[in-house]
Amino acid sequence: MDHFRYVNRELFCEEVPVRELAEKYGTPLYVYSQATLLHHLSEIQTAFASAKPVVCFSIKTNFNHHISKLMAQHGSGFDVTSGGELYRALAAGGTGDKIVFAGVGKTDEEMKYGLGNNVLLFNVESEQELHALGAVAQSMGKVAPVALRVNPDLPPKTHVKTDTSVKGVKFGLDIETILDVAQGVVGHPGLSIVGLHMHLGSPILSNEPYKAGGEKGLKLIAELRKQGHPIKFLNMGGGFGIHYRKQEALPAKAFADVILPIVKEANCQLVLEPGRFIVGNAGILLGRVIFTKESGGKHYIIQDAAMNDLIRPTLYDSFHRIWPTHPAADLPAPPEDYEAEIPQTFKQNVVGPVCESGDFLAKDRNLPKVQRGDLLAVFSAGAYGMAMSSNYNSRLRAAEVLVTGGKHRLIRRRETYQDLLAPELDCK
């Protein structure tokens, strides 16, 4: 469910026409719906309520301070993958007892930062990391709470760059060796292995991988307890898919149906790390058409939102629905199936101004004719959009706006040319 809809052939975010936002704040512009954010957070909280889960919003999906504050105000903790993300979580009102520190390459300084703020769990992904964390904890007179991240070696589920639980990836401890690693730290004075972590990749459109992974997890938990580790947390990560093409994603309840019985059998506290599921469909990217052209028989829409604003299509070949914010009267708004024949459309490529052939948001997409100055909406852009943006080609990063009902407010100003040089001129 999201709160972006067309009314009388005009796109609205909640009760605000997006044209009004583009005119006030400029483009490219990220627009978020607060009602959508809170709806999806609540959907997770409700579906898993019987397990009283620790829900940790994955800051890497969207790090905006105001969105993080909203998450904290409505009961969410945070999943962080760096010292910077931990800093953001704490600044947004997060507390250590609801923060999980993930990531395959934590530095000693990041470990100290997490220990100093009493994070709930460190998701540990290698034997070396485990021993390094133990040494850092001992040097501080602390005991680090650890959830060992296992790679359960399941069949591929998503894009090769986002599948984290197949053999040979950098994530987690191999399922064949994790018990040997755990045995090697029994009685370690700086470590307490209290959990098992399993993140399966993203976005996942079936609950079957969670069932298969959970069943493997149950066996590992039993063995870890036999070794003497007081396992009390089962962290099933995130990865729940969203609607990119149409209504293809499962509701949170479908994942809860397979995860909750496993948690109950394990007699563990459930930890979840949703990100995309909460924020993905809560945001769109607005771009304004600069030019159109034909080259070599191909049609191009050149607009001011580019790969530096939303790199997912370039990086993952990902699909985002794109449609004019004010479609003509004889056009659907937007279509259910972009691959089908759509009246008054023809195949076009939506690209940006970046000096790269890889700068595109859509290829060979059935879209209507547009004109210089028209607005295009790129849907389902709330996750891994602004968070992965850059200043490539010295382009200014976009502004971000949060809409609540009929009101809207700037939650990140557009960068200036002065911002581009500031870190270089501030050198001493």
Output the pLDDT for position 343. Answer: 86
Q: Report percent pLDDT > 90 for the chain.
A: 87
Q: Can you tell me the mean pLDDT for 350-354?
A: 98
Mean pLDDT score across all residues of the chain: 94
Q: Which pLDDT value is given to residue 161?
A: 45
| 3-class SS letters over 347-392 | EEEEECCCCCCCCEEEEEEEEECCCCCCEEEECCCCCCCHHHCCCH
Binding site for substrate, by residue number, is: 276, 312, 316, 356, 384
The yes-or-no verdict on residue 159 having pLDDT over 90 is no
Give the confidence band of 57 by pLDDT, cuts at 50, 70, 90: very high
pLDDT digits (tens, 9 = 90+) for 125-151: 999 999 999 999 999 999 999 999 998
CA-to-CA dists, residue 128 to 135, 227, 283, 290, angstroms: 11, 20, 39, 51
Q: Are 170 and 201 in contact (CB under 8 A)?
A: no
pLDDT band at 283 (very low <50, low <70, confident <90, very high): very high
Is a pLDDT exceeding 70 seen at residue 167?
Answer: no
Q: Which residues are annotated as a binding site for pyridoxal 5'-phosphate?
A: 239, 273-276, 384
pLDDT in tens, 70-115: 999 999 999 999 999 999 999 999 999 999 999 999 999 999 999 9
* pLDDT (mean) for 411-426: 96
Q: Are 198 and 237 in contact (CB under 8 A)?
A: yes
Greater confidence, 155 or 299? 299
End-to-end Cα spacing for the chain: 50
Confirm whether pTM is higher than 0.85. yes
* HSE of 151, CA atoms in CB hemisphere, 13 A: 20
Model confidence pLDDT, tens digit, residues 293-343: 999 999 999 999 999 999 999 999 999 999 999 998 887 778 877 777 888
| pLDDT at residue number 155 | 59
- Residues with Cβ within 8 Å of 249's Cβ and at least 6 positions away in sequence, in order, are 203, 205, 240, 241, 242, 243
- pLDDT tens track for 201-245: 878 999 999 999 999 999 999 999 999 999 999 999 999 999 999
**pLDDT at site 338:** 79
Lookup result for tokens 């650890």 = 146
Judged by DSSP in three states, 113 sits in helix
Catalytic residues: 355
With beta carbons less than 8 A apart as the criterion, state whether 328 and 348 touch.
Answer: no
Average of pLDDT values for 10-29? 98
Q: With 80 as the cut, is the pLDDT of residue 157 above it?
A: no
Query: pLDDT-derived band of residue 158, with 50, 70 and 90 as boundaries?
Result: low
Helix (H) or strand (E) holding 201: none
The per-residue pLDDT for 396 is 98
pLDDT at position 200 is 87
Compare 165 and 72 and report the one with higher pLDDT.
Answer: 72
One-letter amino acid of 351: V
What are the structural domains, with CATH classification, of the chain?
4-32+280-424 (2.40.37.10), 34-278 (3.20.20.10)
